[in-house]
Structure 1
Amino acid sequence: MISKFEYTTLAPTEDIQQLGSILEQCFLMATGDSETYINRVGSENFRVIYRDKQVAGGLGIISMGQWWGGQRVPMAGIAAVGIAPEYRGGGAAIALVKHTLQELHTQEVPISVLYPATQRLYRKAGYEQAGSYCIWEIPTETIQVREQTLPLQSVDVSNHQIFHDLYHQQAKLIHGYLDRNQVIWQALIQPDGQETVYGYLIGNKEKPQGYIIVSQHSTKDGAILKVRDWVILTATAAQTFWSFVASHRSQIEKVRWKSSVIDSLTLLLPEQTAKIHSHDRWMLRVIDVVKALEMRGYPPGIQAELHLAVQDDLLVANNGKFILSVANGRGEVTKGGKGEFQLDIKELAPLYTSLFTPQHLQLVGKLNATETALSAATQIFAGDSPWMTNFF
């Protein structure tokens, strides 16, 4: 199926225009928006697939990192996968994704993450559910947190570097958080239409304890304050976060923010009036088994050994038996072993990210393991439920 298509980088202006037209049709963009998006990501970071010398579709690759167990793992974010209508259903999409994975493997990229429009396509390429993207909502009048314990400093969001160090302090502690590419930061502060994006440092400007980036929206259900991004590093910063959003109650009916499925910020609320507005799952693909397992962090104090047997029909270097030895929060992988923990490459994703426990995965037939191997894997991959705040 792959041989029917030609895979290459995006270069000629005419091809950029063709891909832009495809993306605008696929993602309901306004005319010209695709050019802005392609320029933001960088045309050199797009890949296209041709059929009979015509652009059949393309995608963007955003190079960044992701935090796992307190360690940064290099990651390729896959974005804007679009196929022209006349080429859909003919294998163009899976060919494009598989070619991209093969390229990333030669570049020794450990993992890849994407948001799926359809899971079936990406599962064929070895991706699986791996973490959450969750938007919470609360009626402003029910927050009932009034005391502002720290000062707030208004800042210009276009200078987003002012937020980077604070974000990094929080990101490395959260399972699945991004080490953001500039593309992600630019999208974060970019206004949608006529809106204005506001930014505030929480605490003293010389030593802030967090920040909040917001925008206001009028909808048929009333005015909404959207928290585009936030960092909370202390308990007093968390208190100030809630008092700040509550101060909008005279004009704003609801507040929305992104957080984990179990949000510790809601513990400061007097009642359980905050609800999950939407919940999606992103998918991850292990591209290099050895690098992915060795670069990830593990629970400190655990010393264990897991004998894996991995099946990967696309990237043959991932096939076979591996021994993962974990001590002092780090892992080492060697070839060989007993193969007591058997799974397909896509099932390695939710195990790797701690989205599901080994017992849960075995219960639904996603792996086959001995009791000893299950026990070792449970210790090794114990962690908080993975999540991130950025959609790409």
Structure 2
Amino acid sequence: MTPKFEYSQVVKEDIQQLGNILEQCFLMSPGESEIFFNRIGLENFRVIRAGEQVAGGLATIPMAQWWGGERVPMAGIAAVGIGPEHRGSGAALVMMQHAVKELYAKGVPISTLYPATQRLYRKAGYEQGGISSTWEVPTQSILVKEQPLPVIAVRADHEIFYELYQQHARLNNGFLDRHQGIWQGIFKPHEKEAIYTYLIGRAEQPQGYIIFSQHQDQDGSFIRVRDWAVLTTAAAQSFWSFLGLHRSQIKNVRWKGSATESLTLLLPEQTAKQKATSYWMLRVVDVVKALEKRGYPLGIQAELHLEIQDDLLAENNGRFILSVANGRGEVTSGGKGEMKLDIRGLAPLYTGLFTPQQLQLAGQLDATETARFAATQIFAGASPWMADFF
């Protein structure tokens, strides 16, 4: 490590300097960083110092992520900012390397982030792990008339939304077990903004929900779905029927979905389009814990012999055997090393973003045909995506 940098927790004297850096990096209004500190918790922020100066900082948000129907503890990295006078000095990479080592020491299996630049995070062992897509559909084209369930306006009671979200999240690879700060962001309106909260289904047995706000831009009026969950076909039909009823005043509906959005199957025509897509990145921090804590397809019994290289965390280096049965995995040391990959290549394999064949073509792994076949079975599942940004 470069000796001129020091990585540490935030102390009281750092708050002003770190706040100024983050406000400049993320185009915040003066003082806005305080809201961010309060929402995430100052104890989750770290700084990198160059001598006496705070050169930059980041936040590690304690959460979890759903993989194969199991909740895997995860640290979300957010607010990575370096003061302009310290950029190009290597401070960002040193800070990320220290953060990853700290997460390993705490026993955190995986970490995810949204990159402003992939190159920095790849150097710290992160790779593309999943997708976040924004979709848009004209309300006039929704044309789903049947609404099998009532849609009921309710107050923003976190508890019922949290329970429904968790049921929805368990079924979607990559979904967060959200930090309280992310929930606050969903329910807290911006200035001059109203948020509308509805349950889909009877109040005593809801089958989904929709939380949205209404906006105007150069393309006209639109609904922004801030959060949603549908647990049944009836809920999905009611979701669309309800949104379609806004057609007299609202031109478009925007929502977050996967790259292959199954909700659009209920629409009569291909009028829903992806407006924006971004890839988030994942790092396997602890190979053994990450592989053992995720879920796997039921009915699969297979063995995968891995040989992994991690330039930052020596504990992840070496040969491992992943044995999968009854939806769970067990890792032991040793084996034949039939699939060779570095820690970056393990990320999109772990998430199922790309198949082993695709990863081999991209130079991310080198494996025998037997190992590729086993890995294809083991990591099969729905395409990973995330509704949240942090």
Displacement after TM superposition at 1:191 (Å)? 1.2
Match of 2:309 in 1: 311
* Distance of 1:36 and 1:316 partners within structure 2: 38
Question: Is 1:98 aligned to 2:134, yes or no?
Answer: no
Equivalent of 2:244 in 233, 246, 257: 246
Specify the alignment match of 1:235 in structure 2.
Answer: 233
The alpha-carbon deviation at position 192 of structure 1 amounts to 2.2
Task: Give the deviation of 1:133 after TM superposition.
Answer: 0.3
Q: Which residue of 2 aligns with 1:154?
A: 153
Specify every segment of 5 or more residues in structure 2 that has no aligned partner in the other structure, as ranges.
none
| Corresponding letter in the other structure for 1:148 | Q
Amino acid at match of 1:22: I
Aligned partner of 2:49 in structure 1 is 50
Partner of 2:3: 3
Partner of 2:58: 59
Q: What is the CA deviation profile of residues 141-179 of structure 1, one whole-angstrom value per residue up to 9, with x for unaligned ones?
A: 11112232211221222x322201111111111111111
- Partners of 2:48 and 2:149 in 1: how far apart? 53
Deviation at 1:263, TM superposition (A): 1.2
Return the TM-score normalized by structure 1. 0.98
The count of aligned residue pairs is: 390
* SS of residue paired to 1:78: strand
* 1:104-253 matched pairs, under 5 angstroms: 104-157=103-156, 159-253=157-251
Contact 1:19–1:58 under 8 Å retained in 2: yes
Letter in 1 for 2:128: Q
The superposition leaves residues 289-327 of structure 1 with CA deviations (integer Å, 9 ceiling, x where unpaired) of 000000011111111111100000000100000011111
State how far apart, in whole Å, the 1-side matches of 2:281 and 2:353 are.
11
Q: Which residue of 1 aligns with 2:369?
A: 371
Q: State the partner residue of 2:326.
A: 328
- 1:168 and 1:235 mapped to 2: Cα distance? 18
3-state secondary structure, aligned to 1:384 = coil
1:3, distance to aligned residue in structure 2 (A): 2.1
Write out per-residue CA displacement over residues 160-206 of structure 1, whole angstroms, 9 at most, x where no aligned residue. Answer: 22201111111111111111111111111121221111100111111
Counterparts of 1:234 and 1:371 in 2: how far apart (Å)? Answer: 39
* Cα distance in 1, alignment partners of residues 250 and 82 from structure 2: 40
Partner of 1:71: 70
* SS of residue paired to 1:117: coil
Q: Is the 8 A contact 1:76 1:112 kept in 2?
A: yes
Q: What per-residue deviation string (whole Å, max 9, x for no partner) do you get for residues 83-124 of structure 1?
A: 000000000100111100100000010000000000000000
Structure 2 match to 1:357: 355
Query: Which blocks of at least 5 consecutive residues in structure 1 are unaligned?
Result: none
Distance 2:107 2:3 in 1: 24
**1:2 and 1:63 mapped to 2: Cα distance?**
28
State the AA in 2 paired with 1:9.
Q
Shift of 1:129: 0.1
1:348-377 CA-to-partner distances (Å, cap 9, x unmatched) read 000000000000011111111111111111
CA distance in 2, matches of 1:150, 1:359: 43
* Aligned amino acid, residue 374 of structure 2: A
**Match of residue 293 from structure 1:** 291
Separation in structure 2 between the aligned mates of residue 71 and residue 222 of structure 1, nearest angstrom? 41
What letter is aligned with 2:229? Answer: V
- Output the CA distance in 2 between the equivalents of 1:165 and 1:338: 44
* Aligned partners of 1:63 and 1:76 also within 8 Å: yes
Match of 2:29 in 1: 30
Q: CA deviation at 1:384?
A: 1.2
- Return the TM-score normalized by structure 2: 0.99
> How far apart are the structure 2 equivalents of 1:143 and 1:202?
18
- Residue 32 of structure 1, CA deviation: 1.2
1:260 aligns with 2:258: yes
Deviation (angstroms), 1:2: 3.4
Larger displacement relative to structure 2 (186-195 or 18-27): 186-195
Contact 1:11–1:43 (CA<8 Å) still a contact in 2?
A: no
Contact 1:11 1:44 in 2 (8 A): no
2:66 counterpart letter in structure 1: W
Task: Describe the SS at the equivalent of 1:164.
Answer: helix
In 1: Cα distance, 2:300 partner to 2:3 partner = 47
Counterpart CA distance in 2 for 1:161 and 1:27 is: 31
Query: What's the Cα RMSD here?
Result: 0.9
Match of 2:111, SS state, is strand
